[in-house]
Amino acid sequence: MTLVLPPTPDSLRLAADLLRQGRLVAFPTETVYGLGAAAENPAAVRAMFAAKGRPADHPVIVHLSQASQLRDWAAEVPPPAERLAAAFWPGPLTLVLRRNKRASDLVTGGLETVGLRVPSHPVARELLQQFGGGIAAPSANRFGRVSPTTAEHVLSELDGPVDLILDGGPCTVGLESTIVDLSRGLPALLRPGCITAEQLVAVLGPLSIPEASVAPRVSGSLESHYAPQACVELIEPDRLAARATQLAAQNLKVAVLSRGESLAALPESVVVIALPNDDAELGHMLYAALRRVDELECNVALATLPIEQGIGAAVADRLRKAAGPRAVS
């Protein structure tokens, strides 16, 4: 049975106790909801992988209550990591560092590095503080699906295997954390997010942005990820209406994710889901919109890409992945 509780002092104590007992607790962060397990409890981490249906060789992020715990998990903390932690923690940034022994193969997927993050969401912070240790937490969705930005999203996919969901309302950022690899050579941006490449460069200097294919095993770097059931098709703004009309004529149920493009004269069967034009707002709304496409049982969702600057780069990355070729399952 999955409990859903508001984050009161009692439910936060219960959540920390459950984690100590090796149980699974979903909790809000400022990015997306995480599916938490005690990072040093192998049985708990295994149960978390099983609940998600995630392959064992995919590493998970260890969440910490403060930057001073970095040394508990990382073999070394190079100066750029110190600078990023000072600039952006607590916040939506994950650092990949060389691991120390506390970071087991289960958590790192056998890699020699570990992903570490100090989130800023008050509920996440309180839970981390009460629990004391590291909480291993991937996004609280089934593997390959859209990350949850509300407690209802978590419940819709993980009712049963998760013991408690702390309902902290909708996540403010709505996109997963920015991931920077500082474990070798030039710092590398593994996953764009709300902390933008421009902000990272201002603190770090040069930053490499590797092609997904050469990046280490980042599940978010699979070609299709963060995807709804419906097919997602990316299209130029001026072709949106014509393509929607064409698909609707093939008896497909079509959703248009619209950021205010002119959409005169669409067939009646086409659903228009209005999205904000502001990039931060768009990031905040995107996953709820992709889930809405499935709730409405659409076959296809048409979307346009925002300009790839700032948070727009992260939104475009997630839309490309949602539209990417799918593995046959």
Comparison of 124 and 230: residue with beta carbon closer to ligand TXA = 124
Q: Does 58 bind ligand TXA (CB under 6 A)?
A: yes
> CB 194 → ligand TXA: shortest distance, Å?
9
Q: Which of 287, 320, 309 is nearest to 150 (CA)?
A: 287
Judged by CB under 6 A, the residue of 80, 91, 138, 192 near ligand TXA is 138
Q: Does 120 bind Mg ion (CB under 5 A)?
A: no
Judged by CB under 5 A, the residue of 29, 41, 113, 139 near Mg ion is 139
Q: Exposed, middle or buried by CB within 10 Å (0-12, 13-18, 19+), for 253?
A: middle
Q: Does 196 bind ligand TXA (CB under 6 A)?
A: no
Q: Which of 274, 268, 228, 273 is nearest to 248 (CA)?
A: 268
> CB 170 → Mg ion: shortest distance, Å?
17
d(C-alpha 272, C-alpha 293), whole Å: 10
DSSP state of 159: B
Q: Which of 269, 303, 266 is nearest to 287 (CA)?
A: 303
DSSP state of 63: E
Q: Does 137 bind ligand TXA (CB under 6 A)?
A: yes
Q: Which residues contact 158 (CB under 8 A, 6 or more apart)?
A: 2, 26, 35, 51, 52, 140, 141, 142, 165
Q: Does 134 bind ligand TXA (CB under 6 A)?
A: no
Structure tokens at 154: 């978590």
Judged by CB under 6 A, the residue of 41, 177, 258, 304 near ligand TXA is 177
Of ligand TXA, Mg ion, none, which one does residue 29 interact with (CB within 5 to 8 Å by kind)?
ligand TXA
Structure tokens at 115: 């992903």
- Which range, of 132-140, 269-277, 301-309, 312-320, touches Mg ion by CB under 5 A? 132-140
> CB 148 → Mg ion: shortest distance, Å?
9
- Which residue's CB comes closest to Mg ion? 139
> CB 131 → ligand TXA: shortest distance, Å?
15
Q: Are 10 and 172 in contact, with CB atoms under 8 Å apart?
A: no
Q: Does 31 bind Mg ion (CB under 5 A)?
A: no
d(C-alpha 115, C-alpha 108), whole Å: 8
Q: Which of 109, 139, 143, 51 is nearest to 327 (CA)?
A: 143
Comparison of 148 and 312: residue with beta carbon closer to ligand TXA = 148
Interacting residue ranges for ligand TXA, rule: CB under 6 A: 29, 31-32, 34, 58-61, 94, 96, 108, 111, 113-115, 117, 137-139, 176-177, 179, 190, 216-220
